[in-house]
């Protein structure tokens, strides 16, 4: 069983956190200075791979390549929930590859952990707002390796309101999408 340490500090960066922060800063700066804001780079869809889609976009510092999957089934007694995704992201300029993040569509319960199960292998991811992360690069590598071998992935989390959710993802097309983002970012 692969698990994250319970007291791991939040040191991981969300795939879009830096991008969003820089864009917000640029927008604020442009409003203050009276200039027109710079438009954010639109993601380019590079392919659909059964249940996964692959994209690229350029940000200051280099190309970002990522893949996204949505659950085949989302369960829980909630009245409202936002978009739900699993993302795998490469940022070549930062030498960051295969970063796994889960976007829940709600804010996770404070100090809670998300359980991810692929086959008989379990992972425990720490949470920050509406996202969940592995503890480190090794956790990302291990999780991606197991996801390539699996057929489905089950993600269990608890919202800030105490609502338990279970999301089931198909892993069909995962390996092909991972290969496509690796090729797009020239990562082996």
CATH number, residue 107:
2.60.40.1880
Q: How many residues does the chain have?
A: 188
Two tokens, residue 139: 């956790």
Characterise 111 by phi-psi region: left (phi > 0), alpha (psi -120 to 50), beta (else): left
In this model, does residue 159 exceed pLDDT 80? yes
Residue 7 lies in a domain: no
pLDDT tens for each residue of 18-66: 333 333 333 333 333 344 344 557 899 999 999 999 999 998 889 999 9
Range list of H helices, the chain = 17-33, 137-149, 174-184
pLDDT tens for each residue of 78-133: 989 999 999 999 998 899 999 999 999 999 999 999 999 999 999 999 999 999 99
Residue 9 lies in a domain: no
User: What phi, psi does 126 have (nearest 5°)?
Assistant: -85, 160
Evaluate whether 85 touches 102 at the Cβ level (below 8 Å).
Answer: yes
Range list of H helices, 115-163 = 137-149
What is residue 61's predicted lDDT score, i.e. its pLDDT? 80
127 strand-pairing partners: 132
Q: What 8-state DSSP symbol labels residue 108?
A: B
What is residue 40's predicted lDDT score, i.e. its pLDDT? 55
| Residue 27, SS3 per DSSP | helix
pLDDT tens for each residue of 134-158: 999 999 999 999 999 999 999 999 9
Q: Read off the pLDDT of each residue in 166-185 and give the average, rounded to a whole number.
A: 98
Residue 149 lies in a domain: yes
Residue 4 lies in a domain: no
Q: How many domains does the chain have?
A: 1
C-alpha to C-alpha distance for 10 and 74, rounded to whole angstroms: 26
Q: Compare 1 and 103 and report the one with higher pLDDT.
A: 103
pTM metric for this prediction: 0.78
- The continuous run of DSSP H or E covering 102 comes out as strand 96-103
Residue 148 lies in a domain: yes
- The continuous run of DSSP H or E covering 120 comes out as none
Residue 57 lies in a domain: yes
Residue numbers of the domain that contains 105: 17-184
């Amino acid at each position: 069983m692969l698990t994250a340490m319970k007291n791991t500090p939040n040191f991981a960066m969300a795939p879009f956190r830096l991008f969003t922060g820089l864009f917000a800063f640029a927008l604020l700066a442009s409003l203050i200075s009276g200039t027109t804001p710079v438009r954010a780079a639109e993601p380019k869809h590079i392919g659909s791979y059964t249940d996964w889609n692959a994209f690229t976009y350029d940000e200051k510092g280099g190309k970002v390549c990522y893949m996204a999957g949505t659950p085949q089934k989302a369960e829980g007694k909630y009245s409202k929930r936002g978009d739900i995704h699993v993302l795998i992201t490469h940022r070549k300029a930062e030498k960051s590859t295969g970063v796994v993040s889960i976007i829940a569509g709600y804010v996770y319960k404070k100090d809670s952990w998300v359980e991810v199960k692929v086959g008989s292998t379990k992972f425990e991811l720490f949470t920050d707002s509406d996202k969940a992360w592995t503890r480190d690069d090794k956790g990302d590598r291990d999780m991606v390796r197991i996801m390539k071998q699996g057929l489905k992935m089950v993600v269990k989390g608890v919202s800030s309101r105490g609502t338990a959710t279970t999301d089931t993802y198909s892993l069909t097309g995962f390996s092909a999408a991972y290969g496509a983002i690796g090729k797009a970012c020239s990562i082996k």
